[in-house]
């Protein structure tokens, strides 16, 4: 179902249905909400650069990581959008978090599994 600005509550329900169970809809089902869904998150560029250094030091054509591993390297919780939107993991060099581009990788997230694969284009 396409969402349009101004759709209000119907849009929120449709968006919630489109999110993986670990991200959307916990409140409606009475399940606990993850910490990432409660707290605003601000990560400085220097913290993302820790991920860049990790990718550079691995020096492999393909690196699979869980979001938890990335959180451990960065030292802060990832923002909600990292768990909800594949575009957060995109290849836009204007995005502060896209340090994988500097290391020569693209990112392919699996939001449901909370994993990302970094691949060097070859």
Q: What is the pLDDT of residues 54-103, one digit of tens each?
A: 999 998 999 999 999 999 999 999 999 999 999 999 999 988 899 999 99
Q: What is the count of structural domains for the chain?
A: 2
The answer for residues whose C-beta is within 8 angstroms of residue 106's C-beta and 6 or more apart is: 91, 100, 118, 119, 120, 121
CA 72 to chain centre: 14
Q: What is the pLDDT of residues 6-63, one digit of tens each?
A: 444 444 444 444 444 444 444 445 555 554 454 455 567 888 999 999 999 998 999 9
Domain assignment present for residue 87? The answer is yes
Residue 18 domain boundaries: 1-33
What is the model's pTM?
A: 0.65
Domain assignment present for residue 39? The answer is no
């Amino acid at each position: 179902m396409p969402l349009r600005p101004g759709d209000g509550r119907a849009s929120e329900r449709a968006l919630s249905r489109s999110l993986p169970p670990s991200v959307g809809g916990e409140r409606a089902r009475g399940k606990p909400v993850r910490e990432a869904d409660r707290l605003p998150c601000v990560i400085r560029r220097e913290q993302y650069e820790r991920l860049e250094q990790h990718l550079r030091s691995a020096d492999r054509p393909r690196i699979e990581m869980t979001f938890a591993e990335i959180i451990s390297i960065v030292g802060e919780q990832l923002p909600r959008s990292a768990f909800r939107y594949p575009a957060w993991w995109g290849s836009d060099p204007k995005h502060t978090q896209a340090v994988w581009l500097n290391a020569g990788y693209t990112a392919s997230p699996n939001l449901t599994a909370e994993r990302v694969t970094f691949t060097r284009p070859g």
